[in-house]
Copies of this chain bind each other. A is one copy, B any other.
Amino acid sequence: MRTLYHYPLSPSSRRVRVALAEKGLEFESVIEQPWRRRPEFLALNPAGEVPVLVEDDETVVVGAAITEYLEDVHPKPPLLPACAKSRAEVRRLIQWFEIKFDREVTENLVGEKVIKRVSALGQPSGLAIRAGLANIHYHLDYITWLAERRTWLGGENFSQADIAAGAQLSAVDYCGLVPWSEYPEAKDWYARIKSRPSFRSLLTDFIPGVPPPPHYADLDF
């Protein structure tokens, strides 16, 4: 028995959903709105954040640690490279997207435009949204730089680096705020990610009251 507590537009939740699908691991899905601070959920993760994976009703794994846990316990197919040096590079990129991109882009766009609305936690900040819209260009430049030099973002093989980047961008894309047409190399890389079977469930996500734009689920966007 495997249960994932997650929220559809949380990029770190998306990352775990894709990783589980890549590894062919089925799970029961519990959609958790972390801002509700449900006592049963806080008992699982006192930090009150998604995602949380529970395996065999007893092993509780939270947040970024799920990446490492999955490689430890369900190593095939690998989503981290075999050699330590390459693994360090993939982990660097995971942090880049999950911490830096999230703080500079996703929180400012998805956080302000969708999460604040759904959670009724406050009014969107125009300042934050403008910052997010400016910052995404630097990150798309960086993805372009990587995509021009490597088959996948972390190196020769598809890895957690691609999943981490795809998870962030797909959440922003749900809001229709990724300027794909200005970044053809980044768009080509994302088209490859988006067409993987493991990504399919993300493309059917639907937040009541905040529908995605038509291109969101379109593989030929």
**Which residues of A line the B interface, CB within 8 A?**
45-47, 58-65, 68-69, 72-73, 84-85, 87-89, 91-92, 94-96, 100, 142
Contact = CB atoms under 8 A, between A and B. Distances in A.
Given A46-B142, A142-B46, A69 B88 contact: yes
A198 B36 CA distance: 41
7 contacts: A45-B92, A47-B95, A47-B100, A58-B85, A60-B89, A64-B64, A69-B91
Nearest to A96: B47
B142 A65 contact: no
Given A61-B92, A63-B95, A95-B63, A69 B46 contact: no
Copies in the complex: 2
A20 to B, nearest CB: 15
B92 A65 contact: yes
A88 B60 contact: yes
Chain A facing B: main interface SS: helix
Q: What are the 5 A-B residue pairs with the smallest beta carbon separation, nearest first?
A: A65-B91, A61-B88, A59-B85, A72-B84, A62-B92
A47 B96 CA distance: 7
Task: Identify the interface centre among A63, A64, A88: most chain B CB within 10 Å of its CB.
Answer: A88
A89 B73 CA distance: 14
A164 to B, nearest CB: 12
Contacts of A91: 61, 64-65, 68-69
Contact of A73 (B63, B68, B84, B92): B84
B100 A88 contact: no
A71 B69 CA distance: 14
A19 to B, nearest CB: 15
Contacts of A95: 47, 62-65
Contact of A87 (B58, B64, B69, B100): B69
A85 B65 CA distance: 11
